[in-house]
């Protein structure tokens, strides 16, 4: 997902601007540099990125990855070089992690005087990243919103400022919590209809014109053959992995517990996704593969 985001960023930036990139997957950065050639600098580490850039965008899998990367970028005793053009550095973290960890990283960044930090998790998946149609949920101090939006609009279509730092993550986790539940509910409803003898396409068409309509029914329907091009038609390959949905749901439940919130359906959904990911035949698939799990049969 980061590759198409960086591709859109480089394509829309002024040609005179240099883009410094780093990824532990060196084949990816090599391919990226070969594709663009001009004004792309592949670095040896995140510290080099931070030393040479005014705006730093990070996107990492888990909280500890974010913590380790920022520790490398802002570590003492050597201060980062003065930011280019005398503009304060802006760190934009697009990772989906828990708000508590993000707040700790933000505090460490600000207290080190190395720059400002905002959270901007993203929704839209690989398809949205390639099309430049992503939605960013922004958690930012008011004075940083315009600058963050200017950068994020180079990679996405919509930027929603939800409040101060950590607000973007809270919005993203609430959204994915709902998505996780809707996906299971859609799989169960479609399974009911198919078992009752209804045509899957006709059932989905009816649902999508009625009150049951939702993203998993309309865009990512879990029944093979209902939505052309969906993961269900590719043996659930590609798309948003079950492991990532399980991660986001787990983060949402932890954040809820930190705020003394007691979700009723989330724990049951988490058990279902954990069971799907624990099934050797279903592991590593798009999260709509939960349909195969709830139907109890091969499809």
What's the CATH code of the domain at 210? 1.10.1040.10
Question: Which band of pLDDT confidence, cut at 50, 70 and 90, is reported for residue 192?
Answer: very high
The answer to whether residues 12 and 143 belong to one domain is yes
Q: Answer with the one of 108, 132, 163 that is the final residue of a domain.
A: 163
> Does the pLDDT value for residue 173 go beyond 80?
yes
Domain, as residue range, for 188: 171-295
Regarding pTM above 0.95, the answer is no
The answer to whether residues 146 and 32 belong to one domain is yes
| pLDDT for 299 | 42
Q: Answer with the one of 104, 129, 163 that is the final residue of a domain.
A: 163
The answer to whether residues 146 and 209 belong to one domain is no
262-283 in b/e burial notation, b at 16+ Cβ within 10 A? ebeebeebbebbeebbeeeebe
Poorest-confidence range of 95-109, 115-129, 147-161, 280-294? Answer: 115-129
Q: How many domains does the chain have?
A: 2
Question: Which band of pLDDT confidence, cut at 50, 70 and 90, is reported for residue 81?
Answer: low
The answer to whether residues 59 and 183 belong to one domain is no
The answer to whether residues 46 and 85 belong to one domain is yes
| pLDDT for 97 | 96
Q: Answer with the one of 114, 146, 163 that is the final residue of a domain.
A: 163
In sequence order, what DSSP letters do the residues of 43-66 get, joined into one string?
Answer: -SSHHHHHHH-SEEEE--SSHHHH
| pLDDT for 128 | 87
The answer to whether residues 123 and 209 belong to one domain is no
Question: Which band of pLDDT confidence, cut at 50, 70 and 90, is reported for residue 85?
Answer: low
The answer to whether residues 20 and 106 belong to one domain is yes
Mean pLDDT of 224-233: 95
Mean pLDDT of 109-131: 90
CATH of the domain at 23: 3.40.50.720
- In angstroms, the CA 156 to CA 62 distance is 22
Percent of the chain with pLDDT over 90: 85
Residue pair 7/126 in contact (Cβ under 8 Å)? The answer is no
Dihedral pair phi/psi, residue 296, rounded to 5°: 70, 20
User: What would the pLDDT profile of 264-274 be if each residue is shown by its tens digit?
Assistant: 999 999 999 99
The answer to whether residues 8 and 113 belong to one domain is yes
The answer to whether residues 54 and 151 belong to one domain is yes
The answer to whether residues 147 and 9 belong to one domain is yes
The answer to whether residues 128 and 16 belong to one domain is yes
| pLDDT for 78 | 63
Question: Which band of pLDDT confidence, cut at 50, 70 and 90, is reported for residue 126?
Answer: confident
The residues assigned a catalytic role are 172
Question: Which band of pLDDT confidence, cut at 50, 70 and 90, is reported for residue 23?
Answer: very high
Mean pLDDT of 164-191: 98
Q: At what angle do helices 167-195 and 242-258 cross, to 10 degrees?
A: 130
User: What would the pLDDT profile of 249-269 be if each residue is shown by its tens digit?
Assistant: 999 999 999 999 999 999 999
The answer to whether residues 119 and 203 belong to one domain is no
Question: Which band of pLDDT confidence, cut at 50, 70 and 90, is reported for residue 47?
Answer: very high
């Amino acid at each position: 997902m980061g590759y198409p985001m960086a591709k859109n960023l480089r394509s829309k930036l002024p040609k005179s601007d240099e883009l410094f990139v780093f990824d532990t997957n060196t084949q990816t950065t090599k391919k990226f540099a070969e594709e663009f050639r001009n004004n792309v600098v592949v670095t040896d580490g995140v510290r080099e990125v931070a030393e040479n850039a005014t705006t730093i965008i990070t996107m990492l899998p888990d909280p500890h990855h974010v913590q380790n990367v920022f520790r490398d970028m802002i570590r003492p005793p050597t201060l980062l070089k003065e930011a280019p053009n005398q503009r304060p550095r802006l760190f934009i973290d697009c990772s989906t992690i828990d708000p508590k960890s993000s707040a700790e990283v933000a505090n460490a960044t600000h207290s080190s005087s190395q720059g400002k930090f905002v959270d901007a998790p993203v929704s839209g998946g690989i398809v949205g990243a390639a099309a430049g149609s992503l939605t960013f949920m922004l958690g930012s101090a008011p004075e940083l919103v315009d600058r963050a939006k200017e950068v994020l609009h180079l990679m996405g279509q919509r930027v929603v400022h939800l409040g101060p730092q950590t607000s973007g993550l809270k919005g993203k986790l609430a959204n994915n919590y709902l998505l996780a539940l809707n996906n299971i509910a859609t799989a169960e409803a479609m399974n009911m209809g198919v078992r009752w003898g209804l045509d899957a396409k006709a059932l989905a068409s009816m649902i999508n014109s009625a009150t049951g309509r939702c993203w998993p029914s309309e865009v990512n329907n879990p029944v093979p053959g209902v939505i052309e091009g969906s993961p269900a038609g590719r043996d659930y390959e590609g798309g948003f992995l079950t492991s990532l949905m399980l991660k986001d749901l787990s983060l949402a439940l932890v954040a809820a517990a930190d705020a003394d919130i007691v979700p009723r359906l989330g724990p049951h959904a988490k058990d279902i996704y954990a069971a799907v990911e624990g099934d050797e035949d279903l592991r590593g698939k798009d999260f709509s593969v939960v349909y195969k799990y709830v139907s109890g049969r091969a499809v």
